[in-house]
């Protein structure tokens, strides 16, 4: 599970990845306040959350299906996006190394 | 007499001051206590192992939010119990049944989490087991009490009680499926900036001794998400129509088809001076026609949308706006034409354009839920015809006549100032110029005011 503080960082940083905004981050502000209003920009924001390896969910060794963010839009609160990340992100399954035994 | 008047005046002033003082002190107490949010409604979860409790927040939400987050995460603040089951447990003589009834009457809370800004999700501890935590058709009481430092001492106690019924389904798979079956599709409000799933703009114009004209701009679509082999896709069937009975202002254009998009993984653009962060590629297969289906084209529409950080910002530090430029190509074939010489022709149209959205003003910003919004949107697109296409018009008898056979570029621009005065309704002031396929009938600087109905499909 992604910790609440990390979820906040993901949302905060991904907002700044897609929009050049001076709006102070608060969980109870809608994404529209951070200049994320157009559908295409919302989609870019979702992609940043799910795929950005530096500031998105993958940066915390988790994965999140973009479908989990399907309902978000410009009126969605930043805190709601944080909640989705906290509840739906899954830890990355590390591939188990096969032990090679001697015959 | 003057002294009496003086006394009367002084006593009135004293009463007025006293009343003011009382009101002020009452308001002050209220101001402290109103930070305690009361429960507005509560709803059972599908698996019968959680409730979602919605708050009625009457205060400045920006101030109360932090309080609520603090309270929500303190389990001891929450009590959920069933009075009827408690009564039954009291009367039960069998100790085993009595214990079970007590357990059912006071389910253990496992976690409390903030689910959005107004809703609290209360999950009970034996979720996932075969035991149904909340009893079928049982009524429970939910209390929220203030026991932490966020709430002033005067407000400690039960904030509000509300009676809620557990959903009739049980925690079994059958229960879940019945809950899923009960889901209804409703038309919900459209958040500003989001493309509506259903949209109808209608204008009726009439004058004495003249025929009334009707104009409609409508669209219906629904976006679906699916995942296959770890790759994410969207597809969206759509239907759009723009038509008018006015001869001088009739785009006479409709199209329907399906749009498809793969969410490309790890396609982040390297840092660049234009601050382009994402490219979105959409493909659509569509049929474009006039409203009488006398001219029909089958077209593949391929577009690349450019999302740049430079174009998503605030104007004057207050008005958020986005500009999304796009380039693309429409390739297809004419299937039916009123003129033999144009029938069966291939079509190829490179295009570019941009969409601008600005949220000019939000009314009642502090209120929770729906807010009235004043917004501005402009779509501009220019099509370059690689193959000659005929621009058609009608004569007085409504018969098609060829006007020109040309490769001249075709522009289309539509600007709208929208005031959403109700959840699904708004007024729109439009400016429109240009022509749209397949007929490329010129709409020559048309201004209109229309009533708009719009919504998104949502399951409830």
Task: Give A39's contacts in chain B (Cβ within 8 Å).
Answer: 193-195
Task: Report the pLDDT value the prediction gives residue B274, as an integer from 0 to 100.
Answer: 86
Half-sphere exposure of residue B142: CA atoms within 13 angstroms, side-chain side: 27
Please judge whether A19 and B263 are an interchain contact, meaning their C-beta atoms are less than 8 angstroms apart: no
B225 touching A, CB under 8 A?
yes
Please judge whether B324 and A40 are an interchain contact, meaning their C-beta atoms are less than 8 angstroms apart: yes
Tokens of B50: 């959680």
d(CA B105, CA A29): 38
Please judge whether A67 and B227 are an interchain contact, meaning their C-beta atoms are less than 8 angstroms apart: yes
| Model confidence pLDDT, tens digit, residues B256-308 | 999 998 876 656 678 888 888 888 889 999 999 988 888 899 999 999 999 99
d(CA B303, CA B260): 11
Cis-peptide, bond into residue B397, ω within 30° of zero? no
CA distance B317 to chain A (A): 8
Tell me the residues of chain A between 5 and 44 that have a Cβ less than 8 Å away from chain B.
17-23, 26-28, 32-44
Task: Report the pLDDT value the prediction gives residue B328, as an integer from 0 to 100.
Answer: 96
Tokens of A32: 């529209």
Instruction: Find tokens 């009334």 and name the residue.
Output: B212
Of A41, A51, A52, the CB nearest to B312: A41
How does DSSP classify residue A6? H
Asked if residues B317 and B310 have their Cβ atoms less than 8 Å apart, the reply is no
d(CA B166, CA B47): 10
CA distance B402 to chain A (A): 38
Asked if residues B441 and B250 have their Cβ atoms less than 8 Å apart, the reply is yes
Tokens of B54: 């919605």
State which residue of chain A sits closest to B62, comparing Cα positions. A28
B238-251 burial, b at 16+ Cβ within 10 Å, e below that, comes to: bebbbbbebeebbb
Instruction: Find tokens 């998104």 and name the residue.
Output: B456
| Residues contacting B26, CB < 8 A, separation 6+ | none
Which candidate, A10, A11, A9, A35, places its Cα nearest to that of A21? A35
Asked if residues B170 and B48 have their Cβ atoms less than 8 Å apart, the reply is yes
Task: Give B322's contacts in chain A (Cβ within 8 Å).
Answer: 35-38, 40-41
**3-state class (DSSP) for residue A91:** strand
Tokens of B222: 């629904």
DSSP H helices, B169-289, are 173-181
Q: Is residue B3 exposed (0-12), middle (13-18) or buried (19+ Cβ within 10 Å)? A: exposed
B230 touching A, CB under 8 A?
no
Q: Cα–chain-centroid distance for residue B420? A: 12
Asked if residues A62 and A2 have their Cβ atoms less than 8 Å apart, the reply is yes
Tokens of B247: 């001869």
pTM assigned to the model: 0.63
**3-state class (DSSP) for residue B84:** helix
Task: Report the pLDDT value the prediction gives residue B154, as an integer from 0 to 100.
Answer: 40
CB atoms within 10 A of CB B2: 6
B200 touching A, CB under 8 A?
no
Q: Is pLDDT larger for residue B130 or for residue A16?
A: A16
d(CA B125, CA B104): 12
Longest CA span, chain B = 105
Of A19, A22, A77, the CB nearest to B116: A77
How does DSSP classify residue B146? -
Please judge whether B320 and A32 are an interchain contact, meaning their C-beta atoms are less than 8 angstroms apart: yes
Task: Report the pLDDT value the prediction gives residue A10, as an integer from 0 to 100.
Answer: 94
Residue B193 phi, psi (nearest 5): 100, -25
Please judge whether A20 and B275 are an interchain contact, meaning their C-beta atoms are less than 8 angstroms apart: yes
Please judge whether B268 and A38 are an interchain contact, meaning their C-beta atoms are less than 8 angstroms apart: no
d(CA B80, CA B145): 11
CA distance A71 to chain B (A): 10
Which candidate, B404, B407, B355, B412, places its Cα nearest to that of B382? B412
Length of chain A: 103
Task: Report the pLDDT value the prediction gives residue A12, as an integer from 0 to 100.
Answer: 93
d(CA B446, CA B201): 15
Mutation target among B50, B312, B354, B356 for the A interface, most CBs of A within 10 A: B312
Per-residue pLDDT of chain B (460 residues; tens, 9 = 90+): 556 566 556 666 665 555 454 444 433 333 333 333 444 555 554 444 555 555 544 444 344 444 555 555 444 455 666 667 777 777 878 877 777 777 766 766 666 665 555 556 666 654 433 333 455 455 555 555 443 344 433 433 333 444 444 444 333 333 333 333 344 566 777 766 667 788 888 777 665 666 777 778 888 988 887 877 777 788 889 999 888 777 666 677 889 999 998 876 656 678 888 888 888 889 999 999 988 888 899 999 999 999 998 899 888 888 888 999 999 999 999 998 877 777 888 999 999 999 999 988 888 766 556 678 899 999 999 999 998 887 766 555 555 555 667 788 999 999 999 998 888 888 989 898 888 888 888 877 888 888 888 888 776 5
């Amino acid at each position: 599970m992604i910790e609440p503080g990390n979820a906040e960082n993901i949302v905060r940083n991904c907002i700044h990845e897609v929009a050049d905004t001076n709006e102070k981050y608060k969980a109870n502000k809608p994404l529209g306040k951070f200049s994320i209003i157009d559908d295409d920009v919302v989609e870019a924001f979702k992609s940043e959350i799910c795929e950005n390896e530096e500031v998105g969910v993958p940066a915390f060794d988790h994965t999140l299906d973009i479908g989990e963010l399907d309902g978000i839009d410009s009126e969605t609160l930043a805190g709601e996006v944080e909640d989705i990340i906290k509840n739906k992100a899954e830890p990355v399954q590390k591939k188990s190394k096969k032990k090679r035994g001697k015959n | 007499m003057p002294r009496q008047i003086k006394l009367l005046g002084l006593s009135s002033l004293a009463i007025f001051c006293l009343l003011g003082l009382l009101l002020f002190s009452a308001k002050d107490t209220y101001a402290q206590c109103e930070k305690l949010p009361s429960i507005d409604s509560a709803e059972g979860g599908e698996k019968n192992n959680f409730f979602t409790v919605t708050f009625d927040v009457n205060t400045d939400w920006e101030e109360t939010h932090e309080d609520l987050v603090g309270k929500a995460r303190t389990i001891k603040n929450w009590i959920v119990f069933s009075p009827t089951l408690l009564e039954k447990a009291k009367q039960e003589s069998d100790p085993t049944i009595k214990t079970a009834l007590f357990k059912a009457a006071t389910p253990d809370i496992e976690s409390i989490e903030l689910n959005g800004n107004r809703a609290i999700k209360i999950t009970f501890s034996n979720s996932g087991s075969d035991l149904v935590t909340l009893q079928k058709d049982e009524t429970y009481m939910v209390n929220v009490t203030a026991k932490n430092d966020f709430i002033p001492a005067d407000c400690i106690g039960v904030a509000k009680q509300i009676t809620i019924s557990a959903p009739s389904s049980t925690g079994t798979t059958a229960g879940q499926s019945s809950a899923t079956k009960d889901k209804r599709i409703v038309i919900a409000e459209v958040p500003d900036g989001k493309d509506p799933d259903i949209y109808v703009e209608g204008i009726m114009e009439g004058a004495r001794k003249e025929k009334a004209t009707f104009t409609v701009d409508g669209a219906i679509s629904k976006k679906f998400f699916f995942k296959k082999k770890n790759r994410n896709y969207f597809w969206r069937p759509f239907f759009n129509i723009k038509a008018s009975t006015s001869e001088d202002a009739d785009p006479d254009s409709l199209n329907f088809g399906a749009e498809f998009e793969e969410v490309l993984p790890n396609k982040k653009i390297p840092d660049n001076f234009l601050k382009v962060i994402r490219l979105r590629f959409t493909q659509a297969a569509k049929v474009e026609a006039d409203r009488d289906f006398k001219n029909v084209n089958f077209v593949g529409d391929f577009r690349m949308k450019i999302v740049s950080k430079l174009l998503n910002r605030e104007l004057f530090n207050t008005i958020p706006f986005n500009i999304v430029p796009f380039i693309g190509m429409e390739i297809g074939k004419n299937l039916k034409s009123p003129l033999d010489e144009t029938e069966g022709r291939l079509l190829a149209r490179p295009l570019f354009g941009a969409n601008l959205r600005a949220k000019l003003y939000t009314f009642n910003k502090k209120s929770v839920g729906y807010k009235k919004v004043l917004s501005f949107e402009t779509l501009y697109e220019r099509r370059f015809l690689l193959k000659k296409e005929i621009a058609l018009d009608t004569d007085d008898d409504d018969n098609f006549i060829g006007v020109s056979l040309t490769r001249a570029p075709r522009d289309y621009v539509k600007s709208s100032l929208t005031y959403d005065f109700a959840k699904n309704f708004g007024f729109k002031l439009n400016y429109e110029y240009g022509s749209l396929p397949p007929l490329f009938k010129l709409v020559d600087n048309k201004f209109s005011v229309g009533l708009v109905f719009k919504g998104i499909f949502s399951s409830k």
